[in-house]
Structure 1
Amino acid sequence: MAVANIYSRRLRASQSKGDDVYQYDTVPDKLRTQLLCIMDELFGSHSSLIEQAWQDLCKIVAKECGIRKLRVFPYQSSLVDYIEKDADLLEILDFCDLLFIYVRDVIESINKWCERNPFEIEQYAVFLRMYHPAIEELNTYFKESALGYEYNKTEIIRIDSQHIHKEIIKPVLQLLGDERFLKVDVEYRLAHQHYRNKLVKDCVVSCNRAFESMLKIICKLEGWEYQSGARASDLITLVRGKNLFRDGMAKNFDCFVTTLKNGVPALRNECGGHGEDSEQPEQPLFIAQYLLNLTASNVMFLYKAWEQYIQTKS
């Protein structure tokens, strides 16, 4: 009897790990420890807060997540043990939500207290300033561990629920699963790795290599010769001359070709080119994020143009 293509098999196939640069199922042990460190830094230097904070959090998590053992003393060790050993993925994400809800409530209470007792504000000033850095740290640790979630404004969200990731990044990763585009896939995933590690210049360089590789692969598949060392701008001129872009827009389309030339390659030369001063400060992380999105859009565009070209010439 043949193996039936039942729902669970179809679901697993549609969620192939190769289709994304993040995973959504497992919390690394390192991330659990980092989460506890964030809590220590939030409350650890405030003796008037720390004991009450651990107790309050235990009671909140026990109630919201139904974890009975967190209702008993000693609260801190119980919660640490829960985070390190027992909590599954959803419980960890719920805890992150509950932690920052609690911190916001504490900040609100402190602000009200300091309005009535302004001489006390210095005692809590450091704590009041730590809320946003703590969220930034958590999101950094999520990225570094390739866990596909982030704390966005006031709640945890999945990366692949964001429109750009769902509509641009994942479809490109699925496309690059084709072995013909292996080199593009390697470079583009490496760019994401650099982004997660905040290596902006390296991310930009890998984005450019992925873009150039896509152009070269199309040229090789079509037998279009190009000179050794050809740059992205040269390759775009070549494929434009071979009528890869057949959309009937005539001169208006040349504006888009110019955008292709001046997008990823230009940013690479400006932000991640060779021969830069090693002491030059790193570019903002949003530059890398922009390049990842731009590269995905351009790679998908090149593929669709090539797909149409094949259909037209046959």
Structure 2
Amino acid sequence: MIFDLFSKRQKRLRGEVPEIFTYDHIPDNLRVQIVHIIDDVIGAERFASNLDPDDIYSTIHGILCREYGVFRLWGKYEKEKEQLFNYILKAKLVEEVLDAVDLTFKYFLSVLKPSYLNYKHNTTSKLDPDAAIQELNVRFKENGIGYSFEGGEILRIDSTFMHKEVTQPTLSLLWNNCLLR
């Protein structure tokens, strides 16, 4: 959930909102916000089920490690959840942070969304995948970051008009056609 805090309203009144997107830096506060979003979606286990929050972290961690050719994302003795979060918080390359975010949100769409009601019942999840994607995109925009999660992947937004008028409808059409097959 996004709150329109007093400080945000004041920044808008002063014209201190970013109008130009940045692509080569992800601020620390945005990284923390992303970790909060992920944690709110995955939650913790309440009842045993076939989809366990620890398994989700383990799956995401395992995929990233395999793709990068490493055994651990971060730290020596941390669980997969902490490794993923520390990686998002501390990775130096923007593309690597976005790899972790992109993969995690793809997982939300493909695995959690179809069975979210059951998942929510068995966990402490507070945020459904669609709401998480909406919040992620708002947070990107609030921070002037030129990326958006659309059509099942993170995309670079070079032109807001072109993205809104051409790219989004096209991706939506393609995504819906893929789901129907």
Residue 106 of structure 1 deviates from its aligned partner by: 2.4
Counterparts of 2:43 and 2:69, CA distance in 1 = 26
5+ residue gaps, structure 1, are 1-19, 115-119, 166-314
**In the TM superposition, what are the counterparts of 1:212-223 in structure 2 within 5 Å?**
none
**In the TM superposition, what are the counterparts of 1:253-292 in structure 2 within 5 Å?**
none
5+ residue gaps, structure 2, are 1-18, 164-181
Task: Name the residue aligned to 1:136.
Answer: 134
Q: Is the 8 A contact 1:110 1:124 kept in 2?
A: no
Residue 110 of structure 1 deviates from its aligned partner by: 3.3
Q: 1:69-112 CA deviation, whole Å, 9 max, x = no partner?
A: 2397521222222111125210111112100221233226737x
Q: Does 1:65 align with 2:65?
A: no
**Count of aligned positions:** 139
- Rate the CA distance shift 1:151–1:73 in 2: closer, same or farther, 3 A: same
- Rate the CA distance shift 1:152–1:121 in 2: closer, same or farther, 3 A: closer
Q: Does 1:101 align with 2:99?
A: no
Counterparts of 1:29 and 1:133, CA distance in 2 = 22
Higher gyration radius (CA): 1
Q: Does 1:79 align with 2:75?
A: no
Residue 51 of structure 1 deviates from its aligned partner by: 1.6
> What is the letter of the counterpart of residue 131 of structure 1?
P
Task: Name the residue aligned to 1:148.
Answer: 146
Residue 33 of structure 1 deviates from its aligned partner by: 0.5
Higher relative helix content: 1
Q: Is the 8 A contact 1:23 1:148 kept in 2?
A: yes
Task: Name the residue aligned to 1:54.
Answer: 57
Task: Name the residue aligned to 1:246.
Answer: none
RMSD: 3.1
Counterparts of 1:39 and 1:130, CA distance in 2 = 10
Counterparts of 1:87 and 1:54, CA distance in 2 = 21
Q: SS at 2:22's partner residue?
A: coil
Identity %: 31
Q: TM-score, normalised by structure 2?
A: 0.64
Residue 161 of structure 1 deviates from its aligned partner by: 5.4
Counterparts of 1:141 and 1:53, CA distance in 2 = 23
Residue 158 of structure 1 deviates from its aligned partner by: 1.1
Counterparts of 1:121 and 1:50, CA distance in 2 = 9
**In the TM superposition, what are the counterparts of 1:1-314 in structure 2 within 5 Å?**
21-47=20-46, 48=48, 49-70=52-73, 74-107=79-112, 110=115, 123=121, 130-160=128-158, 164=162
For CA contacts below 8 A with separation 6 or more, give which structure has more relative contact order.
Answer: 2
Task: Name the residue aligned to 2:11.
Answer: none
- Rate the CA distance shift 1:122–1:163 in 2: closer, same or farther, 3 A: closer
